Amino acid sequence: MFARWVVQDWLYLQTYLEVLTALARRAPTDEARSRWHALLALTRDEELELHRRFAARFGLSSDDLAEATPWPATVAYTRFLRETATTDYAMGVAALLPCGQGYVELARALSRGAPPEDPRYVDWIRMYADPSFDEAVVWMEEELLGMGLSLEALRPALVAGAKHELAFWDQLWRGEGPSPGAT
């Protein structure tokens, strides 16, 4: 399953970079633009590098990543993010938030226990439990709250983002789609 995640998350992150760029352009303040650009750099320079290392550890080549086919939930998720982030800044932030919150919370919980027996997974936990990811998620939450919108107004994007995140992981668990080299 983890090799499937490497491939599908690699594809997801390509869209995530586009969405971060779109949000940086739409950001209402210089500080927000700067924060989105910092998150863009973190994703491009650290997260994608982690995925490259994981791909190699799981026997996936650069070609496997470049030629991978996105699975249905990945397609739906990335379409939702693109549409949301390019039409409304607040809804775009709300749409991204469940992904960041989920990764940070899961990594935090996993880091409290004994390390996994398979050392390949330790880097995933270390990456997403790193304070820089937590800080990025906290900033997104504060950015969203600072817009003065009600939870009711934000709910559609938050719920849809959470549902897409769950569907993304569920497809990986079930193996619902082809992916070169993934097992």
Tens digits of residue pLDDT in 47-85? 999 999 999 998 999 999 999 999 999 999 999 999 999
Per-residue confidence band for 121, with pLDDT thresholds at 50, 70 and 90: confident
pLDDT in tens, 137-179: 999 999 999 999 999 999 999 999 999 999 999 999 999 876 4
DSSP state of 150: -
Going by C-alpha positions, the residue among 84, 97, 90, 76 that lies closest to residue 32 is 90
Going by C-alpha positions, the residue among 33, 165, 6 that lies closest to residue 94 is 165
pLDDT(96) > 90: yes
**Alpha-carbon torsion (52, 133, 80, 23), positive or negative:** negative
Fold classification of 2-174 is Heme Oxygenase; Chain A (1.20.910)
pLDDT of residue 142: 96
Per-residue confidence band for 2, with pLDDT thresholds at 50, 70 and 90: confident
